[in-house]
Structure 1
């Protein structure tokens, strides 16, 4: 057995230079995609506000915890995939009234997959 550790993920080696910032994952999609992402996050946030009156107190608490995580940033949304899963689960649990939220989560996931 070896004592070596395996690391799976990006590796950045920078030698010299000035004002190096590392890897920027947030703008790889370009301005048009970022605008779409922002619109999708805004729509989901609006729909969650409309859905609140149909939620149990526990579901409402979960939505309250999810809202700060819903930001138009690809890296943050990908990292917080459980937040979107929780929102989708709540939308499914409330039935037909939650369908617009489930659809909005689907659109957002589609944008993140691009």
Structure 2
């Protein structure tokens, strides 16, 4: 069963919303390492970004946790890649690491 289920029986025995969400699959060692590289390079670039970009980068990095679902992780990686691309050659190593991570996640 997937997705949310709501059961209502004449105002009695209502269970409310049952969230049938499977936990995110565990990361492979390669995926975990790729995300660690992304985090490391992002931290190195962070100090060289304008405040607004630092905040966006911080928000993106917070979304890369182990519990992040596939679509959310992919969206977050694309957002980080966008930030890296805006700073040109300075962001190239981060952009390359994001691309490598995306390949490992099948994006």
Which ranges of 4 or more aligned residues in structure 1 deviate by more than 4 Å? 21-25
Segments of 5+ residues of structure 1 without an aligned counterpart are 1-9, 13-20, 28-32
Q: Are 1:106 and 2:99 matched, yes or no?
A: yes
Among 60, 72, 84, the alignment partner of 2:77 is 84
* Pairs aligned (count): 91
Runs of 5+ consecutive residues of structure 2 not aligned to the other structure: 4-19
Match of 1:50?
Answer: 44
Deviations 1:62-88 (A, max 9, x none): 011111111245x62433432211110
Which residue number corresponds to residue 3 of structure 1?
none
Taking structure 1 as reference, are residues 60 and 25 closer, same or farther at Cα in structure 2, changes over 3 Å only?
A: closer
Q: 2:64 aligns with which of 70, 73, 76?
A: 70
Deviation at 1:54, TM superposition (A): 1.7
Query: Which structure features the higher share of helix residues?
Result: 1
Contact 1:41–1:71 (CA<8 Å) still a contact in 2? no
Is 2:20 the counterpart of 1:26?
A: no
| Alpha carbons of structure 1 residues 112 and 55: separation in structure 2 relative to 1, 3 Å | same
| CA RMSD between the two structures | 2.5
Q: TM-score, normalised by structure 1?
A: 0.67
* Displacement of 1:22: 7.8
More strand by share: 2
TM-score (normalizing by structure 2): 0.71
Q: In structure 2, do the counterparts of structure 1 residues 25 and 71 end up closer, same or farther at CA, with 3 Å as the change threshold?
A: closer
